[in-house]
């Protein structure tokens, strides 16, 4: 695990955006795994900026989003389909046929989950997976005690996730309580992982992910098993790390170009 701590939130966000843009420049047909949520919004904003300034094209990039709420149609204002269109897809040249997000409003969500897992494999797997982290340590919607060998399936949201995500809905009762989510094993099969966490609210989960025991109670700790994971943090999100000084010595201010 590369632990990269940046002086400012902006610098952490920019570094993640640069990482994804670098993957695309290296391979214009790259398969990206994408996440939703407040943390990654500014990453998408920077990707849009790069597109608008003519630096990059996303026309050949294939994407697989991690998750979707069960019961919400693609055009529901709070669906992750709408989120992705609003923040990234409708503002760039991603091709609709290259974009994949689980469909939450299908009659058989379990069959959809199985199909989605197979689709990821059929396209050769994810090259680089972008992740955020929940305050309870979830990645995707893999809530605490999710099996570390889980694949795409239906997951019931933890009460704290429903409460955290209620900020995007009019009322907490409107937040769906189940989701289709890529599993922990699905995520671990990605060739590279880039996780972004910002703000003090994430500091506890970040410490458990990086330094805690490998345990289903903190699903993100499964990333300790992944050989090419980079964790991008601002100072606040890194504030509970015991080996903070060590990470800073290895990668001062998130730099990866120092020996």
Residue 47 CA to residue 114 CA, distance in Å, equals: 30
Residue 80 CA to residue 73 CA, distance in Å, equals: 9
- Sites for ligand F6R among residues 59-78 (CB under 6 A): 66-67
Pick the catalytic residue from 23, 67, 127, 135.
67
Catalytic residue list contains 76? no
Residue 67 or 117 having the CB closest to ligand F6R: 67
Catalytic residue list contains 67? yes
Task: Answer whether 130's CB lies under 8 Å from 34's CB.
Answer: yes
Contacts of residues 169-177 at CB distance under 8 Å and 24 or more positions apart, as own/partner, are 169/78, 174/78, 176/69, 176/70, 176/71, 176/72, 176/104
In whole angstroms, how close is the CB of 60 to ligand F6R at the nearest point? 23
In whole angstroms, how close is the CB of 109 to ligand F6R at the nearest point? 16
User: Is the C-alpha dihedral spanning 161, 234, 128, 93 positive or negative?
Assistant: positive
Catalytic residue list contains 230? no
Q: Which of 22, 28, 29, 38 binds ligand F6R (CB under 6 A)?
A: 38
Contact status: 223 vs ligand F6R (CB under 6 A)? no
Q: What does the DSSP assignment read for 135-156?
A: TTS-BTTB-TT--TT--SEEEE
Contact status: 134 vs ligand F6R (CB under 6 A)? yes
Residue 50 or 129 having the CB closest to ligand F6R: 129
Q: Which of 39, 152, 190, 221 binds ligand F6R (CB under 6 A)?
A: 39
Q: Which residues bind ligand F6R (CB under 6 A)?
A: 35-39, 66-67, 132-134, 138-140
């Amino acid at each position: 695990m590369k632990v990269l701590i940046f002086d400012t939130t902006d610098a952490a966000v920019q570094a993640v955006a640069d990482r994804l843009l670098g993957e695309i420049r290296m391979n214009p047909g790259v398969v990206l795994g994408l996440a939703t949520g407040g943390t990654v919004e500014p990453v998408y904003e920077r990707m849009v900026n790069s597109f608008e300034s003519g630096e990059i094209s996303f026309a050949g990039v294939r994407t697989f989003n991690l998750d979707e709420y069960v019961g919400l149609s693609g055009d529901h204002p709070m669906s992750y389909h709408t989120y992705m269109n609003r923040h990234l897809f409708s503002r760039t040249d991603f091709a609709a046929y290259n974009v994949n997000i689980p469909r939450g409003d299908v009659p058989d969500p379990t069959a959809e989950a199985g199909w989605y897992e197979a689709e990821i494999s059929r396209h050769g797997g994810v090259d680089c997976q972008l992740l955020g982290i929940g305050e309870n340590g979830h990645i995707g919607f893999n809530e605490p005690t999710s099996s570390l060998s889980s694949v795409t399936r239906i997951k019931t949201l933890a009460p704290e996730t429903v409460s955290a995500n209620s900020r995007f809905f009019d009322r907490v009762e409107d937040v769906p309580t189940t989701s289709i989510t890529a599993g922990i094993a699905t995520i671990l099969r990605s060739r590279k992982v880039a996780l972004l966490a910002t703000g003090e609210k994430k500091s506890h989960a970040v410490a458990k992910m990086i330094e805690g025991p490998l345990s289903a109670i903190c699903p993100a700790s499964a990333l300790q098993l992944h050989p090419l994971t980079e964790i991008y943090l601002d100072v606040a999100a890194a504030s509970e790390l015991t080996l903070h000084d060590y990470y800073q010595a290895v990668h001062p201010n998130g730099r990866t170009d120092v020996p």
